[in-house]
Amino acid sequence: MAELVGNVLVGQSGGPTSVINASVAGIITEALNHECIEEVYGSLNGVLGILQEDLIDLAAQSQQQIRALKYTPGAALGTCRYKLKKQQDFERVLEVFKAHNIRYFFYIGGNDSQDTADKISKLAQQQGYELRVIGVPKTIDNDLSVTDHCPGYASAIKYIATSVREVACDNEAMGQGDLVSIVEVMGRSAGWLAAGAALAKRRDHPHDPPHIILLPEVPFNQEKVLEDIRRTLKREKFCQIVVAEGLVDADGNYVAADGSTDAFGHAQLGGAGDILADIIENGIPGVKVRVARPGLLQRCAAHAASKTDADEAFLAGEAAVEAAINGETDKMVTLVRGDSDQYKSETGLVPLSDVANSVKKLPREWINEDGISMNFQFLRYAQPLIQGEIAIPHDNGVPVFARLEKSRVDKVLPAYEV
Amino acid sequence: MAELVGNVLVGQSGGPTSVINASVAGIITEALNHECIEEVYGSLNGVLGILQEDLIDLAAQSQQQIRALKYTPGAALGTCRYKLKKQQDFERVLEVFKAHNIRYFFYIGGNDSQDTADKISKLAQQQGYELRVIGVPKTIDNDLSVTDHCPGYASAIKYIATSVREVACDNEAMGQGDLVSIVEVMGRSAGWLAAGAALAKRRDHPHDPPHIILLPEVPFNQEKVLEDIRRTLKREKFCQIVVAEGLVDADGNYVAADGSTDAFGHAQLGGAGDILADIIENGIPGVKVRVARPGLLQRCAAHAASKTDADEAFLAGEAAVEAAINGETDKMVTLVRGDSDQYKSETGLVPLSDVANSVKKLPREWINEDGISMNFQFLRYAQPLIQGEIAIPHDNGVPVFARLEKSRVDKVLPAYEV
């Protein structure tokens, strides 16, 4: 295979995670090991930055900043939810790639983003422009079907499990038989995040909080849930509930749909916790309900991130560069779990076309028959992912995160209207 | 002064904090240094445990558990919001104290709780029962006027500032001129917690998030706030807002009052963030608003607690015992800030009657003229309090907290109807 000499472009897309920047760090670190790679650029705000030729020089960043990326939440390059639609947009992307001799394109994102990467790659092939495109997975939703798990998921559930265990201490102290505490977590179509709250339970303590996990996979049955709550209040004096924002009723309708949609046509949700609180207050007179909705904190709470997750995100970035250097293209890096009892993950590769828009469901057989708790299969899957803590440097009592120098790459093309 | 020989009783009251258990640890540790103290008991669920004679033996706990109390959130003894009202209740308290030879009573709580302690102390004096009563302050609200600051406050604002800085990374990555992100924090009548979010800004970076802090001290002016948001969106591409739940309008009415009241007659609040989101979405067409409401996490997020705070809470517990041994009674421990530039706190004592129901206001002169940011006086006050992090032991990826053995003290009195 002929060596492909040229420049690297990295982009980040979709909602950030606590560890998406670790993948950028992995890509930069590995790219600098290869002489065929001349420049390492980042596009600001994903494909938007490509369309607008807003590129920065990543090789110019200090070592210190690259290292800090490993624990910096958000997306240091900026991200976007812009979806390339027009053929003209795709043509523009290639025009920009050609203008800056981009021969390696690494796109870090979820399934919509991998779909975009796939289309860019195919267009380059059609046009005979040699380009290697490798996707790097990220999403706290853990809904990419081709990988054992997604970088970003583990840190989100470590934060959720940590928070639930802490709130449980508070609830237990206050509980006198009438306290219900709800934590509303993200999870539009799958209960991966809500399920993660089960990690707050001690081993062999099934009655530990969270007492009730309400998943999108299990249609909401008001009478059953009220009965579950009454039983828990009797036994534990408080009842801690974790509810996924995407909870659905028996007809498959979102309990908390607000009628609007986002740029990708997905229903916008919010307030499942508050709606549930109303139902409980009406259904169990005299009960007090407290609702916490950590919202975006779930995907950026670096102070409770998983070291395993950050390490894997970095590894996935490195693996993407290695694959491209080895001639692979139109693939996404995956995380593959070893067969041994001792958890170990390696990276793999799958065609981008296998990734796009497929959704990984939380296996129904990992949910206990009660419909409100997770069994050992889920715990065996999730527990290894949240191991290890990251000591983030603090200054003046708050964490200090990376800030990339925005050393702009000179624009060479006329402006483009997005 | 004659040595008073007898037993200690410790109770916790009101909403827990991340460090209220550190004060229990301080009390137990110091009590065991004094031979005149025979037994160290804890009452379960504050005054409720006294009325019902639900006492546990604290001296029987392992050293390991006592040490773990220093970073365990919640209230390990349980707490309550029960308010002693009837004369009969107070009589019962003394009856229980006499039955168990309680000569030292330490009550950890906010102003309502110190009021209760004061009344118990006065009744004991009237009846000629020798009892030393020392209160230990706690409240994330920081609203006790007699102390420089309250144990619990610093950990809450460290968590808030940390979370705001993390959410800012996410917001900055997503911001394209139309993103408003709201974090709703506690603070019923004073903006101490919301103000603490200002610690998320880097020194000399006034434009850092949070861009807008909405305090109960500054009546909500819809048009001005919308204008502040528009200006921030133009400058920063996103706007991060921290709003106190107790935000009031120009007439002094809570923006988010829901009409109900708690056991102490305080208005119940919730939803200032959601109400503000509606106002912004209607006032600035096309803008996207995300709301996070960490709720109880603010007072129990031990994983982002302040070491300074935990150390001071422990110290306050120790000081309470020392004061009682030295013959003091009917006092509350305070934290006193030294005069030097280098922050240093010592403990002091004030009469309980000076504490009860007085409210410490956030000084108006610590708020900038723009009404939405804090000046250097606040930062000089708050910054030293959040210094230092606590490394909490983890097992299986989640923090491990203390669990007290509930070694019950034998009841000797007839049951009492609460």
Task: For residue range A334-382, list pLDDT tens digits in order.
Answer: 999 988 888 999 999 999 999 976 788 999 999 999 999 999 999 999 9
Out of B115, B141, B143, B330, pick the active-site residue: B141
The pLDDT assigned to A85 comes to 83
A72 touches chain B (CB under 8 A): yes
Which residues in chain A have Cβ-Cβ distances shorter than 8 Å to B292? Answer: 293-297
Report A:180-199 residues touching B (Cβ under 8 A).
181, 199
The pLDDT assigned to A418 comes to 85
Which residue of chain A comes nearest to B154, CA vs CA? A397
DSSP strands (E only) in B159-275? 179-185, 212-214, 238-244, 257-261, 267-269
Tell me the C-alpha distance between A314 and A303, whole Å.
18
Which residues in chain A have Cβ-Cβ distances shorter than 8 Å to B401? Answer: 165, 169
Helix, coil or strand: residue A258: strand
The answer to whether the Cβ–Cβ distance between A172 and B292 falls below 8 Å is no
Phi-psi region of A327 (alpha: psi -120 to 50; beta: other; left: phi over 0): left
In Å, how far is B414's CA from the nearest CA of chain A? 22
Q: Choose, out of A174, A184, A236, A276, the residue to mutate when testing the contact with B (most B CBs < 10 Å).
A: A174
Residue in B16, B81, B291 closest to A170 by CB: B16
Among A26-30, A263-267, A399-403, B408-412, where is mean pLDDT lowest? Answer: A263-267
In Å, how far is B191's CA from the nearest CA of chain A? 20
Edge-to-edge strands, sheet with A179-185: A212-214, A238-244, A179-185, A288-292
Tens digit of pLDDT for each residue in B210-256?
999 999 999 999 999 999 999 999 999 999 999 999 999 999 889 88
Which residues in chain B have Cβ-Cβ distances shorter than 8 Å to A300? Answer: 166-167, 169-170
Residue (of A321, A346, A287) closest to A23 by Cα position: A321
- Report whether A4 contacts A97 (CB < 8 A): no
The answer to whether the Cβ–Cβ distance between A271 and B270 falls below 8 Å is no
Residue in A174, A294, A398 closest to B297 by CB: A294
The answer to whether the Cβ–Cβ distance between B292 and A296 falls below 8 Å is yes
The answer to whether the Cβ–Cβ distance between A297 and B296 falls below 8 Å is no
The pLDDT assigned to A1 comes to 61
CB pairs under 8 A between A and B: 189
- Report whether A174 contacts B15 (CB < 8 A): yes
Which residue of chain A comes nearest to B69, CA vs CA? A169
Q: Which whole number is the average pLDDT over A27-35? A: 97
Helices (H), B74-191: 87-99, 111-126, 153-174
The pLDDT assigned to B189 comes to 86
- Neighbour tally for B284: CB within 10 Å: 17
Among A129-143, A160-174, A259-273, B361-375, where is mean pLDDT lowest? Answer: A259-273
B149 touches chain A (CB under 8 A): no
Q: Which whole number is the average pLDDT over A24-49? A: 97
Phi-psi region of B14 (alpha: psi -120 to 50; beta: other; left: phi over 0): left
For A227, the enclosing helix (H) or strand (E) is helix A222-236
Report B:331-360 residues touching A (Cβ under 8 A).
none
The pLDDT assigned to B188 comes to 85
In Å, how far is A44's CA from the nearest CA of chain B? 9
Q: Choose, out of B242, B296, B299, the residue to mutate when testing the contact with A (most A CBs < 10 Å).
A: B296
Tens digit of pLDDT for each residue in A300-312?
999 999 999 999 9
Tell me the C-alpha distance between A27 and A306, whole Å.
20
Q: Looking at chain B, how many residues does it have?
A: 418
Tell me whether residue B370 is one of the annotated catalytic residues. no
B275 touches chain A (CB under 8 A): no
- Report whether A320 contacts A309 (CB < 8 A): no
pTM greater than the 0.90 cutoff: yes
Backbone angles phi, psi at A196, to 5 degrees: -60, -25
A383 touches chain B (CB under 8 A): yes
The pLDDT assigned to B268 comes to 56
Residue in B171, B176, B293 closest to A80 by CB: B176
Q: Take residue A40 and report the two structure tokens written for it.
A: 């390492």
Which residues in chain A have Cβ-Cβ distances shorter than 8 Å to B396? Answer: 199, 203, 383, 386-387
Low-confidence ranges of chain B (pLDDT < 70): 1, 258-270, 357
- Report whether B398 contacts A199 (CB < 8 A): yes
Residues of A recognised as catalytic: 141
Q: Tell me, what DSSP letter sits at residue A362?
A: P
For A169, the enclosing helix (H) or strand (E) is helix A153-174
Tens digit of pLDDT for each residue in B138-150?
999 999 989 999 9
Helix, coil or strand: residue B108: strand
Tens digit of pLDDT for each residue in A272-291?
999 999 999 999 999 999 99
Tell me the C-alpha distance between B269 and B193, whole Å.
15
**Omega into A209 within 30° of 0, i.e. cis?**
no
